[in-house]
Amino acid sequence: MGVARYLKNEKGGIDDVIYQSGIHVKPNYTPQDLDEVGFDYQADLGDPGEFPFTRSLHPQGYRSRAWTTRQYTGFGTPEETNQRFRYMISHGQTGLNVAFDLPTQMGLDSDDPKAEGEVGRVGMAVDSLRDFEIAFAGIPFDKIGSGLTINANASVMLAMYQAVAEKFGFPRDKISATPQNDILKEMIGRGAWIFPVEPAVRLVGDTIEYAMKELPRCNPVSVCGYHIRESGATPVQEIACAFEIARAYIDNVVARGIKAADFVGHLTFNFNVYGNMWEQIAKFRAARKIWAKMLRADYGVTEKKKLFLRGLFGGGGSGLTKDQPENNIIRGAYYALAASLGGAQTTALCSFDEAYTIPTPRAALLSLRTLEILMDEVGLRDTVDPLAGSYFIETLTKQMEDKIRAEMARIQEMGGMTTAVANGSIQREVARQAYEFEKSIQNGEAIKVGVNKYTEGEQPEVELHGYNEAWAEKQIDNLKKLRNERDNQLVMKCLKKLTQAAENGYNVMPELVDCCRAYATVGEMTGVFREVFGEWQEPRLF
């Protein structure tokens, strides 16, 4: 995690700079450095919008279209979340990134005893289609795309999104949703998993197969290197793990007799940006190149647009601090700068108060304005890839590429990402690194301004987005009312068909859509999968 190491001499001068990826940075770079790393303009860089897309996916970069702004939003009940959606859109936000509470992420209804104290706390509480009807009321589905930050039961939420869009009159071929839907990264670094590895990956495959046939504008998976990095991975491991996770999902669908070229253009990514700016920029540039070359070499994909590395670069949560929280405003601006210089298609910044709380409206708006200032005042849309040709950046990008490829090969030698996750190999490594980083903060080896250097003692007060117990009461009351009003015989019939599909290896998505339309609850639908698949027993890591 975190920052570069600076080795200094007795006079305070810097003798060596070591990036977290293990790259030693020289004081000066020349054309000779490009020769030493084997840099070739056409193979490694190319023109903007041309293979291997190191510089940009589009010939004119941000001059043709600014990046999408998609701040992470959602809390309390669907009513509160809808108000925040409308607030952000009215202030210029161009996409939604929906946060769900932990019970929803874990497939629990709000009145489940295990959900007590967590309903609406870290995201929006969702129990049924009725909640989506409230949360997305007034949202133009044909103009605003929605990221759904959900994983273990992403299939349920994608089905619900389709059902609510159709109920509002939007045809399925006009709606755009991007569920995060990356269960392997949950098992590596975040913990919101439910089912064992194989059926969990199968559900991811079901959403991909279904979306390519029924939801042509949806991106059924957003592979999330972000959370792997937040859990302790280096920038190199973040990209390598994400690409090997994507390979596992691709292989699952290809094994169904579907060509990779038919669906890989709808896979997206969510990458982190915090720490050393140059390392992040080089990471993103190298990642675009590696992804395009991987798809072409390993899966025979040749169509230009299907080789694009698409997704969101942003966040930076682990870079934020509780100490001197206003410093996070400055950090966020530099993270946004790194994302844009790295060629982000979509960005979302963690707000300065997220080390304490769900973002307040003021903090969320500051993050949005940070991105807009970069677009409209600072000049980030002036020219494509303004750092291209820098001896330093091109050398660093090539070095990052080599290290990422080596890490990908190492994961493949473990038996692939699915095997490495199932036996805990990746988790052990990431957890150990997180521990080592925390020690480096405590002993001062890694510098965090305001935490272990330039400290001030007393902390300023931060406005908190308080948790309201009434949210849970209201949500549970609405759930009870729903169960009394819906056609429970229809619900049971739909759940029975879902059980049969799960048991017999059929794609579960059509049955999930029917369940959602009948107002089956998240807990009921996920409960079917729990009964059929069981729950994952995490391997002992240490």
Each residue's pLDDT tens digit, 301-335:
999 999 999 998 987 788 888 888 899 999 999 99
Residues 320, 534: Cα–Cα separation, whole Å:
37
Q: How much is the mean pLDDT over the chain?
A: 93
Strands 24-25 and 14-18: antiparallel
pTM above 0.85, yes or no: yes
Res 419 pLDDT > 90: yes
Residue 419 falls inside a structural domain: yes
Phi, then psi, of 388 in degrees rounded to 5: -60, 140
pLDDT for 1: 43
Give all strands (DSSP E) within 278-368, no chain letters: 311-314, 346-347
pLDDT band at residue 437 under the 50/70/90 scheme:
confident
Task: Identify which has the larger pLDDT, 296 or 1.
Answer: 296
226 forms bridges with which residues in the sheet? Answer: none
The tens digit of pLDDT for each residue in 159-217 reads: 999 999 999 999 999 999 999 999 999 999 888 999 999 999 999 999 999 999 999 99
Residue 307 falls inside a structural domain: yes
Taking phi over 0 as left and psi of -120 to 50 as alpha, with beta for the rest, 74 belongs to left
pLDDT for 478: 96
Range of the domain at 391: 5-442
Is residue 180 within 8 Å of 315, Cβ to Cβ? no
Is residue 521 within 8 Å of 108, Cβ to Cβ? no
Residue 450 falls inside a structural domain: no
Res 435 pLDDT > 80: yes
Task: Identify which has the larger pLDDT, 165 or 452.
Answer: 165
Task: Provide the domain count of the chain.
Answer: 1
Residue 456 falls inside a structural domain: no
Closest alpha carbon to 411 in 301, 247, 273, 299 = 247
Residue 448 falls inside a structural domain: no
Res 465 pLDDT > 70: no
Residue 453 falls inside a structural domain: no
Residue 403 falls inside a structural domain: yes
CATH of the domain at 377: 3.20.20.240
Percent of the chain having pLDDT more than 90? 76
Residue 21 falls inside a structural domain: yes
- Tokens for 508, please give them: 């579960």
